[in-house]
């Protein structure tokens, strides 16, 4: 059987339509009407009607009062039920909160998801003024410390796959991103001025699992407060964040195979 014939044999058109719809809705903030979904996917409304009804019945999408379809949190909840992420978020929560309280900053934990970063855990410090990253947010890899940390630990082949999934993006950002990876890998962390928000220093370090692979990046978007007696400086915060990541890595089973 030819490769083309084999591909035809195992095609599941309805499943493909459903995945196309989920991926499209994941990239929209305000939801889409049925006709808009069909237009953007190059399909008629009748082609996608039944698929939308199934996705709605299974609680993957919901319809608002304006008849616009939006994703529910079901996919996010399913991702958290995978063994690695479930274990990671279970053990990381209290450690992240202790760190946030100690350095007076918010902390978030990211994993790679389809060429982007997915925020799977987030905590705030008790301070009145904080800068946070929303739980469940998807972040481009090119302009983030978390993306640099995780990409710096990859073999060339895996990095190529990540860049393909991430898409071409901005040429200058991608060039700067790739140029930073060797230094980040050598240091074991990423610390530098935020590329998106003035006055923020992003500090990030990897968390490794029992295979020795970096499975997550813990990051603080460090804001520089003008007042307060309990503030720590960015370098001290980075030292404590790295220590926390090393502790979490050991609890995730990182041992002799740990690439650090």
| CATH number of domain containing 134 | 3.30.450.40
Percent of the chain with pLDDT over 90: 57
Give the H/E segment covering residue 101. Answer: helix 83-103
Say yes or no: 68 and 82 in one domain: no
* Same domain as 181, residue 95: yes
Residue 147 lies in a domain: yes
Residues 83 and 163 in one domain: yes
Report whether pLDDT(1) > 50: no
Q: Is 111 part of a structural domain of the chain?
A: yes
3-state secondary structure of 81: coil
Domain-embedded: residue 185: yes
- Are both 110 and 184 inside the same structural domain? yes
Judge if 95 and 21 occupy the same domain.
Answer: no
Q: Which CATH number fits the domain that encloses residue 56?
A: 1.10.10.10
Task: Transcribe 49-80 into DSSP letters.
Answer: HHHHHHHHHTTSEEE-TTSEEEE-SHHHHHHH
What pLDDT is recorded for position 257? Answer: 47
Domain count, the chain: 2
Residues 54 and 111 in one domain: no
196 is in which domain, residue-wise? 78-251
Which residue has 């020795």 as its token pair?
Answer: 212
Q: What is the pLDDT of residues 240-251, one digit of tens each?
A: 999 999 999 998
260, part of any domain: no
Is 0.75 surpassed by the pTM of this model? no
Please name the residue that has the structure tokens 């609680």: 59
Tell me the CA distances in angstroms from 49 to 22, 128, 219, one per residue in order.
14, 48, 42
Is the residue at 94 inside a domain? yes
CB 186 within 8 Å of CB 145:
no
pLDDT (tens digit per residue) in 121-151 = 999 998 888 888 898 889 999 999 999 999 9
Q: What is the DSSP string of 231-256?
A: ---HHHHHHHHHHHHHHHHHHTT--T
Residue 84 clears pLDDT 90, i.e. is over it: no
Domain termination residue (choose one: 42, 72, 102): 72
| Closest CA relative to residue 214, chosen from 146, 148, 141, 153 | 153
Question: Does the pLDDT at position 78 exceed 70?
Answer: no
- Tell whether 241 and 119 lie within a shared domain: yes
Domain boundary residue among 28, 44, 72?
A: 72
Residues 91 and 174 in one domain: yes
26: left (phi over 0), alpha (psi -120 to 50) or beta: alpha
From 57, 72, 87, give the residue that closes a domain.
72
Band of residue 153 on the pLDDT scale cut at 50, 70, 90: very high
45 and 86 in a common domain: no
Same domain for 139 and 247, yes or no, is: yes
* Domain assignment of residue 208, yes or no: yes
User: Of 43-57, 106-120, 169-183, 242-256, which gets the smallest average pLDDT?
Assistant: 242-256
Whether 120 and 21 map to the same domain: the answer is no
Whether 88 and 206 map to the same domain: the answer is yes
């Amino acid at each position: 059987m030819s490769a083309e014939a084999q591909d035809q044999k195992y095609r599941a058109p309805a499943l493909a339509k459903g995945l196309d719809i989920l991926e499209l809705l994941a990239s929209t903030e305000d939801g889409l009407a049925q006709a808009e979904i069909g237009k953007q996917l190059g399909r008629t409304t009748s082609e996608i009607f039944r698929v939308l009804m199934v996705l709605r019945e299974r609680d993957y999408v919901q319809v608002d009062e304006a008849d616009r379809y939006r994703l529910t949190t079901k996919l996010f909840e399913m991702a958290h039920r995978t063994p690695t992420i479930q274990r990671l978020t279970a053990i990381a929560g209290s450690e992240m909160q202790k760190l946030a309280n100690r350095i007076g900053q918010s902390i978030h934990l990211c994993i790679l998801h389809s060429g982007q970063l997915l925020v799977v855990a987030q905590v705030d410090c008790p301070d009145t003024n904080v800068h946070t990253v929303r739980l469940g947010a998807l972040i481009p890899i090119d302009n983030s410390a978390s993306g640099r940390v995780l990409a710096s630990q990859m073999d060339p082949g895996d990095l190529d796959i990540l860049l393909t999934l991430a898409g071409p993006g901005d040429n200058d950002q991608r060039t700067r991103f790739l140029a930073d990876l060797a230094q980040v890998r050598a240091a074991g962390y990423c610390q530098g001025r935020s590329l998106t928000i003035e006055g923020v220093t992003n500090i990030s370090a990897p968390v490794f699992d029992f295979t020795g692979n970096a499975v997550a990046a813990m990051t603080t978007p460090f804001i520089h407060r003008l007042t307060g007696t309990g503030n720590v400086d960015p370098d001290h915060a980075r030292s404590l964040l790295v220590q926390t990541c090393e502790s979490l890595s050991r609890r995730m089973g990182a041992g002799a195979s740990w690439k650090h």
